[in-house]
Amino acid sequence: MAYDVTNNTSTIELVESPDIPVGSDLTPIELPAIVPSPQLVGSDAISPVGEIVELPKTLPAQQLIAVDNVSPVGDVIELPPELPPEGVVLLEVIPIPNFLDPKKICCPTVPDTGVDRLEDLEDVDTSGRFNGYILVYNEITDTYVHEPKPSGIPESTFSSDITVVLSGGKTFGKYRNGDVIPALGKTAVEVILLATVEYISATFTSFSVTGQASTVEVGTTVSGSKTFTWNITLNSGAVPTITVYDVTAASNLITDTPNDGSESSTIVTVQLNSNGANQAWRGIGTDITPDPDVIFNSSNFTITGRYFRFYGYASASPTDSLTVRALPQSSYQTSNSQSFNLNTGSLLTKFVVALPPGRTISQVIDLDALNTDITTEYIIQPSINVVDAGGTSRVYNVYEMNIGVPYSATHRHQITTA
């Protein structure tokens, strides 16, 4: 049967078939206007083909099941759009080109199963059941012809696993020399895919709290609404939601929020009232692609309480918390042993260092006086109570150095603590 686009009619041409002699009565197959001039000939050995077969204009030379010599052609099946471009045998579920969607093609039922839809065949063993015809496009004769297909011919599979033997650092996909490929019972295509396609789980690339410093002064209260932001690289996975976990409280703060990169929530109020006290959160993702699901975590976002140290030039010795905190330089004392530079300026002769509880000066080097050791020039003074961010008095160790005249240019005193 051929469709004539000139006069919008179909004609019948007889072609020799293994099961149907020339001259037999054939029921025509109705073809829609989208079918080009190539001819479609054939019928079922038991019953005539009676359904419309829709074919795309660009149908390639892939093979498509058309009829079954056991039972009549069954329901029309809509082929899934996600199948890759390779061709489909409807009773063996081989992919077809994407451009067939949403085309339809008639298919037979699977004998003894009652299955007549492609999507129903996923859990059905069709080996040895099929004995029908294949619709083949012949580019030379510009025709579609039904050809018999042998039944029950299984694809070859490996009879054992494969031990990889390769030299010089060569690999077979993800397998290295000495690895064992679990090839038993698999086809060559399955083994190649096993070697070259590796599942890579999703992973967090960032997790933070907008506008929140990771180090704060001891006594700081962390509270209110916080906006959590994150980024996830999906790789092979799918992560529809995440959970924000309060590490400090050991409980979920936000549960199963959409994985859109940002979510705000009122946090549990906490005061960081000692050196090193912290509040931490992390993101927890669930990759739903594997079976079972894979749970993965971000790194922690942590807020840590630290004492300030205060230092610099002064016109007078500090006597209380206010005058200590007024010194021109300050920084967090994040560990016992640390070095920092006091800039002397060129106007004053008094230099003061106020260190948080328990910290002392171990060494002072004048970097601008040939690295002279001036540790003994910094004299310990009476301690001073300095109020922290929460209003609590903390005992600070205070040191002073005094010189007769100001430096002609700023010197850097490198101070090391213990």
Query: Quick one: 62 and 192 in the same domain?
Result: no
C-alpha–C-alpha distance, residues 16 and 41, integer Å? 9
Judged by DSSP in three states, 231 sits in strand
Query: Quick one: 100 and 44 in the same domain?
Result: yes
- pLDDT at 235 (0 to 100): 93
Name the average pLDDT for the chain. 75
Over the range 130-163, which residues count as b (16 or more CB within 10 Å of their CB) and which as e?
Answer: bbbbbbbbeeeeebbbbeebeeeeeeeebeeebe
pTM exceeds cut of 0.85: no
Query: Quick one: 50 and 103 in the same domain?
Result: yes
Percent of the chain whose pLDDT exceeds 90? 60
C-alpha–C-alpha distance, residues 91 and 129, integer Å? 9
Comparing CA positions, the residue from 313, 340, 308, 342 lying closest to residue 325 is: 308
- pLDDT at 98 (0 to 100): 34
Interior CA angle at 246 toward 240 and 252, to 5°?
50
C-alpha–C-alpha distance, residues 243 and 204, integer Å? 12
The least confident of 27-36, 253-262, 337-346, 375-384 is: 27-36
Summarize pLDDT for 26-52 with one digit per residue, the tens.
444 443 333 332 333 333 332 233 333
Query: Quick one: 13 and 130 in the same domain?
Result: yes
Which secondary-structure segment (H or E) carries 324?
helix 321-325
In this structure, is the dihedral angle defined by the CA atoms of residues 324, 325, 329 and 331, taken in order, positive or negative? positive
Residue 3, domain extent: 1-153
Query: Quick one: 319 and 290 in the same domain?
Result: no
- pLDDT at 355 (0 to 100): 98
More confident residue, 313 or 189: 313
- pLDDT at 197 (0 to 100): 83
Final residue of a domain: which of 265, 299, 333? Answer: 299
Contact in structure between 110 and 116 (CB atoms under 8 Å) = yes
Percent of the chain whose pLDDT exceeds 70? 63
C-alpha–C-alpha distance, residues 279 and 353, integer Å? 30
Query: Quick one: 27 and 139 in the same domain?
Result: yes
Q: Check whether 156 has a pLDDT greater than 80.
A: yes
DSSP label at residue 184: B
Query: Quick one: 69 and 49 in the same domain?
Result: yes
Contact in structure between 283 and 244 (CB atoms under 8 Å) = yes
Summarize pLDDT for 187-237 with one digit per residue, the tens.
999 999 899 888 899 999 999 999 999 999 999 999 999 999 999 999 989
Tally of domains within the chain: 4
Query: Quick one: 6 and 92 in the same domain?
Result: yes
With cut-offs at 50, 70 and 90, classify the pLDDT of residue 22. Answer: very low
Contact in structure between 186 and 157 (CB atoms under 8 Å) = yes
Query: Quick one: 254 and 269 in the same domain?
Result: yes
Q: Averaging pLDDT over each range in 90-99, 126-135, 288-297, 300-309, which range is the top one?
A: 300-309
- pLDDT at 90 (0 to 100): 33
Query: Quick one: 250 and 288 in the same domain?
Result: yes
Contact in structure between 280 and 302 (CB atoms under 8 Å) = yes
Q: For residue 32, what are the CA distances in angstroms to 42, 57, 408?
A: 17, 11, 98
Summarize pLDDT for 329-357 with one digit per residue, the tens.
999 999 999 999 999 999 999 999 999 99
